[in-house]
Structure 1
Amino acid sequence: MGYPIYLDGFASLPLAPEAKEAMLSAWMNPGNAGSPNLAGEQAARTIADGRQDVANLIGASPAEITFTSGATEANNLAILGAARAARRDAPNRNRIIVSAVEHKAVLEPALALRSEGFEVAIVPVDTCGRLDMNAFAKLVDEDLLLASVMLVNNETGVVQPVAEAAALAHQSGALFHTDAAQAAGKIEIDVFDLDVDYLTLSAHKCYGPMGIGALYVSAGAPKPSPLVLGGGQQGGMRPGTEPVALIAGFGAAAKVAKDRLAHDGAHCKSLIDLLVQSLQLRQLRFRQVTGDASTVPGSASLQLLGVDADELCARIAPQVSLSTGSACTSGQIKSSHVLESIGLSDLEARGVIRILCNRYQDREEILAAAAYIAEAYALSHLATGEVPQ
């Protein structure tokens, strides 16, 4: 068992050994996939194999996969690029709708479209973090151009009703995007079952390398306008020399994730159940922020009562890696927009920790983490001086 025990899987997951091996092998070839020589052909084959494995993970065709520098770029390409391209074909549609709990990589591009004349509406969620389908349905009409609802939230792990939302959007003739960065490798994804036009992926959220992501663009959907110009790679939608080794690592991670999906899900669920039970036995006072909402296996968003989560995390930093529900903005501690959206006050959000276990952990690690968290909980307190009992 190594330290610190890593429970910050929503931020990034460990690199799969298979992905590391694939990248090391690819790095041995200096070829550029655009070069008409043997080294270039080998690089092109590596890219094709990686694209096939990523496509297989979500039930897509390789031709529908465009590699990007990560989920942030893929989300920007989906929101900005797709909205601009689609409006050329449907000039009377100008509404974009997104959920209140989207990642900033979706929210900020959507809001930026207001300066281009788009109407942008934000759909609320309930107190468990689930999309308010009634509010969503009221915004779906002939003015809607594009809707975006994430498949899994990056702070709470809540699984959203994407298939239902996509069906509603399509009934009005609109397009639909989902950010599936936190879903890949954790739950099954099938783009045909979801019936989405665009879908975002991130390699390092499914045991692949950082610095590589992908955008699925359905064969029947408008091709997003490129955000970057200067090359013909990937059909011109995302020009630039492809990072062969990163694509190889992404593909290898995707293949393993697909093969191990059921096993990993059961294993990670058992670990988070053990952690929660252990914290309860140690008499920590907390509540699960997500209530009865469906969440990805291995995840938990816990509001520790009477404790400042940032202080707790600082106490156990050498032993356990955790994330909290707050962030420092302009020198002030502010709760995340996700926790605000589900109704938590700044004070309540300051007690929230987010946890995601991973496939490489065992019961010994989880029990040790619970012990460290419980010890820190007993020592931590809010500014009021309250000491947990």
Structure 2
Amino acid sequence: MSDPIYLDGFSTLPLAPEAQTAMVSAWSKPGNAGSPNAAGERAARIVADGRAAVAALIGAAPDEIIFTSGATEANNLALLGVARAIAREAPHRRRILLSAIEHKAVIEPVRQLEAEGFVATIVPVTPSGVIDLAALRALAGDDIALGSIMLVNNELGTIQPVAQAADIVHEAGGLVHCDAAQAVGKIPVNVIDLDIDYLSLSAHKCYGPMGIGALYVSAAATRPDAQLFGGHQQGGLRSGTEPVPLIAGFGAAARLAEASLAMDAEHGNGLLALLLDEMRRRQLRFSIVSGDAERIAGGAAIAISDADGDILSALLARTVAISTGSACTSGQIRTSHVLEAIGFSEKKARSVIRLFCNRYTGEQEIRTAADQIVEAVHRCRLATGDFRQ
């Protein structure tokens, strides 16, 4: 049985062959980057090279990059670590601002901060899924500790006006964290241009390996409190032996992303346009959830008329990999908080699927995927008793 056509790039992306090669090479010879011997020195060079590559991808200095196990850990280190550090320096700053469409890896740490006495304020978004800057400005008071605004939404693909939001938060005296897991390696990202203090990123969202990410900590920003204790690696901010092969893979993926950013964007946009055109040509009725808002290249969430995304996903499980606008929590299917934030009803939210065309997808695969999706929609309508086209 052949592998399904992979259109679930919002969830994870294929591992780049260059990253795999770098990882195998690093795995071939043991070495702890903290050991004072030749093997350790070799491992330390790999770590330094990987750190430099990741830093270059986002316009940072190498010593501003802290490797983590992924974007979730990076978000936790930034939010918990920075908020707690600020509370000691400025006890009156206890408010955390975050957009209504942040990832759960931002929302849950903020809930933990609420349990510690911080106040969380949710900033609304437009019906297209873009943070409302006027609302942010109205909510930004002198009690702000930190604002967290993602760069690209993981369900809609919408690009957020982070630089403008950062200006507003900074004017109020707060610091700015940006979850850029869905952005880095897909769109140009420069921490100086964005004027942010902290940025989270993930290797597997930019064709690198799972299990590693990073947090950018501006040299001029408040140093986060460490969340892991043990060794004194990475300046004491993140204890634990550096995973040399994963860092090698992350570095290789970062170098490749920097070199192929424009080409990947053109390829992804072309394939997404082809996919949507092919589905329209087959008389499938759908709308792009984010409307005319600026989106990441190659990705979109679409709402298919009179269809159920979860049933579609199940019907396509062996042929086309997609994801939906719902999430399973404790065995129950519930509407995505992102779709709720943009005003979708539960029924409309269930019609949403996410599509992302990656650099390794071909045109023939896209045409085949269009056939499979349209056929699955017809089968879904039969299953649910809705025979409209």
Matches within 5 A, 1:1-389: 3-381=3-381, 385-389=385-389
Q: Is the 8 A contact 1:380 1:387 kept in 2?
A: no
Query: What are the Cα deviations for residues 149-199 of structure 1, in whole angstroms up to 9, with x where unaligned?
Result: 000011110000000000111112210000000001110000000000000
Distance in 2 between residues matched to 1:327 and 1:120, nearest whole Å: 23
Deviates more, 1:339-348 or 1:64-73: 339-348
Deviation digits for residues 320-347 of structure 1 (CA, Å, limit 9, x no counterpart): 0000111222333211111111111111
The Cα shift of 1:2 comes to: 5.3
- Tell me the distance in 1 between the aligned counterparts of 2:86 and 2:119: 14
Give TM-score, length-normalised by structure 1: 0.98
Q: CA deviation at 1:383?
A: 7.3
Structure 2 letter corresponding to 1:21 = T
CA distance in 1 between partners of 2:348 and 2:361 (Å): 30
Q: CA RMSD in A?
A: 1.2
For 1:39, give the aligned amino acid: A
For 2:169, the aligned partner's letter is A
Q: Kindly provide the amino acid, as one letter, of the partner of residue 247 in structure 2.
A: I
User: For residues 147 and 382 of structure 1, what CA distance do their matches in structure 2 show?
Assistant: 47
Any idea what SS the aligned residue of 1:365 has? helix
Q: Is the 8 A contact 1:199 1:217 kept in 2?
A: yes
Instruction: Quote the offset at 1:235 in angstroms.
Output: 0.5
SS class of match (2:30): coil
Is contact 1:377-1:388 (8 Å) kept? no
1:314 to partner: Cα distance: 1.1
Secondary structure of 2:277's match?
Answer: helix
In structure 1, the gaps of 5 or more residues are none
* Structure 2 counterpart SS, 1:381: helix
Which letter maps to 1:103? H
Matched position secondary structure for 2:101: coil
Higher deviation after alignment, 163-172 or 85-94: 85-94
Matched residue type, 2:349: A
Give the Cα–Cα distance (whole angstroms) in 2 for the partners of residues 290 and 193 of structure 1. 25
| Distance (whole Å) between structure 1 residues aligned to residue 193 and residue 264 of structure 2 | 22
Q: Hey, what's the Cα distance between the residues in 2 that align with 1:133 and 1:301? A: 23
User: For the structure 1 residues 382 and 63, does the alpha-carbon distance in structure 2 shift closer, same or farther, using more than 3 Å as the test?
Assistant: farther
Question: How many aligned positions are there?
Answer: 389
Unaligned runs of 5+ in 2: none
- 1:38-89 per-residue CA deviation (whole Å, 9 max, x = no partner) reads 0000000000000000000000000000000000000000100011112222
- CA distance in 1: counterparts of 2:231 and 2:193, whole angstroms: 34
CA contact (8 A) 1:299 1:357 kept: yes
d(CA) in 1 for partners of 2:383, 2:340: 21
3-state DSSP of counterpart to 1:253: helix
The secondary structure found in structure 2 opposite 1:127 is coil
Which residue identity is paired with 1:279? M
Q: How many Å apart are 1:12 and its aligned residue?
A: 0.3
For the residues of structure 2 that align with 1:247 and 1:379, how far apart are their CA atoms?
Answer: 45
Alpha-carbon separation, structure 1, partners of 2:2 and 2:271: 17
Which amino acid in 1 is paired with 2:113? L
Secondary structure of 1:380's aligned partner: helix
The one-letter code sitting in structure 2 at the alignment partner of 1:338 is V
1 CA distance for matches of 2:388 and 2:245? Answer: 49
| Higher deviation after alignment, 82-91 or 149-158 | 82-91
The residue type paired with residue 223 of structure 2 is K
Whole-Å Cα distance in 2 between the matches of residues 305 and 296 of structure 1?
Answer: 23
Partner SS state of residue 145, structure 1: strand
Q: Give the counterpart letter for 2:388 in structure 1.
A: P
* CA deviation map 1:214-269 (0-9, x unaligned): 00000000111011111100001000000000000000000000000000001100
SS of residue paired to 2:381: coil
Which SS does the other structure have where 1:290 is aligned? Answer: coil
